[in-house]
A and B are shown apart, each in its own frame.
Chain A
Amino acid sequence: QVTLKESGPGILQPSQTLSLTCTFSGFSLNTYGMGVGWIRQSSGKGLEWLANIWWDDDKYYNPSLRNRLTISKDTSNNQAFLKITTVDTADPATYYCARIGRYSGRYFFDYWGQGVMVTVSS
């Protein structure tokens, strides 16, 4: 059974660094073709893809967040991480992590976490 769960600080101040953890079970990021992605959703808005990391440590980022994002993984502990530097009023959202499965040679977010809310406030 595949499960993912996000964790984070809940609230942080403007200009701080947001650190998020995705703890998963039921699969390994050492397995060929596997990946984990991060997606966020601002209140009342749609979904925004942020970053992906793959089994071979390949990484992709959303260029709209420029150089603020860093994605990483700890395969020994079945975790993936996302850091967002210099948070501001555009960053409060629910942050989701999702497994990327490989289907018919293409990739798809096939399992999602429940999401974690992040608030930015001084």
Chain B
Amino acid sequence: DIQMTQSPSSLPASLGERVTISCRASHDIFNNLNWYQQTPDGTIKPLIYYTSNLQSDVPSRFSGSGSGTDFSLTISSLEPEDFAMYYCQQDVTFPWTFGGGTKLEMK
């Protein structure tokens, strides 16, 4: 199985701040990396597919980059609704696997 490791597991930040979440794969996954947001009520929202493609209705302050084994999700200027959990996920091979998550919390 491909292991997905996210860092940090917790990220304190302030409104308006620029933040970056990292995701590392145990094997080369090319660009087959997706990102999801989970709000405190459990709702899961897809953000980015294939490393850097924003899903429809996702604000442009979100961006993704990387390739191979190292990827990142950047939020350019934090809004109140961005404080949530974030998960990366690879779909290059089965079993599809998720990272352990990063909790973005208000400082």
Interface residues, chain A, with chain B CB atoms under 8 Å away: 37, 39, 41, 46-49, 52, 60-64, 94, 96, 98, 103-104, 106-112, 114-115
Contacts and interface: CB of A to CB of B under 8 A. Distances in A.
A46 B87 CA distance: 8
B95 A94 contact: no
A47 B95 contact: no
Interface residues of B, number: 24
B50 A112 contact: no
A48 B32 CA distance: 17
A22 to B, nearest CB: 14
B53 A104 contact: yes
Contacts of B34: 108-109
Interface stretch (B10-18, B40-48, B59-67, B75-83): B40-48
Nearest to B96: A49
Given A46-B87, A47-B87, A103-B53, A110 B98 contact: no
Interface of B: 1, 32, 34, 36, 42-46, 49-50, 53, 55, 87, 89, 91, 94-101
In this complex, which of A46, A110, A111 has the most chain B Cβ atoms within 10 angstroms of its Cβ?
A: A46
B6 to A, nearest CB: 9
Nearest to B31: A106
B57 to A, nearest CB: 11
A103 B50 contact: yes
